[in-house]
Amino acid sequence: MKISEVLARQAEQKHAGKPLEDRPRKPVDRKALKVIRTRETPNPRALQFVVNAEILEHGYRSFTSKEDSAGDAMATALLDFNEIKTVYVMKNFVTVTMEGLSDWNHLKTPVWNIIDEKVHVYPSEGQEKIDVDVSDFHGLPQDKKLEAVEMVLDRSIRFQLSQDGGGVDLKGLQGNEVQIHYQGACGNCPSSETGTLQHIERLIKQQLDSDLTVKSV
């Protein structure tokens, strides 16, 4: 048996008993990444391009200008279109949002082709799971209150929004007012200031404190 085969077998045995999330991730060849379909979102201006593999394990990437996209060939190429306002990357999709009332009929194919050609795997942000005791939310110091809000966004809200190609960023906590900023398809979605905001506020009230309110900034 070749030494390479021995080492491979030893590595396989070493990680066999570990949970899947703790095992080394097999690198994905960029050339193997392809857009497999598009998915409409509640925002008619945003379209989600679904890739055949996970391109971002944790967190998100949001690009709204050439300055934001410096060093990212895909986002830069997409933002070259005057009609495109934002590029949002999460899990296994890229959500592209148009400016104004542009028509997806002429943008869909070129956007698909650019993502197909330039999409890549993003380095993991290595975020750790947040766990804060919120039994006395009002008694927590400010930094722990912010962590508690992030905890609720992570476990109850961000995954739901990601299914529609969007996300949310915590911008601050002023008194009892939680300030958030929408990303991706949620950015200018007609329901973001009504149903979605009310849903987020309801979950934060239930899980943290009934006095809290949520504002989009």
CB atoms within 10 A of CB 60: 20
pLDDT value of residue 87: 93
The tally of domains found in the chain comes to 2
pLDDT value of residue 29: 65
CATH number at residue 27: 3.30.1370.70
Does residue 54 share a domain with residue 22?
A: yes
Does residue 96 share a domain with residue 39?
A: yes
Q: What is the three-class DSSP state of 160?
A: helix
Q: In the listed set 118, 149, 179, which residue is the last one of a domain according to the structure?
A: 118
State the pTM of this model: 0.69
Residue with tokens 């994905």: 28
Does residue 96 share a domain with residue 8?
A: yes
Per-position pLDDT tens, the chain of length 217:
444 444 445 555 554 554 444 444 555 566 789 999 999 888 888 899 999 999 988 778 889 898 889 899 999 999 999 999 999 998 899 999 988 766 788 899 999 999 999 999 998 765 567 788 999 999 999 999 999 999 999 888 887 887 777 788 899 999 999 999 888 777 767 666 667 889 899 999 999 999 999 998 8
Helix (H) or strand (E) holding 111: helix 104-118
Does residue 94 share a domain with residue 167?
A: no
Residue with tokens 């992570």: 154
Q: Residue 41 belongs to what domain range? A: 3-118
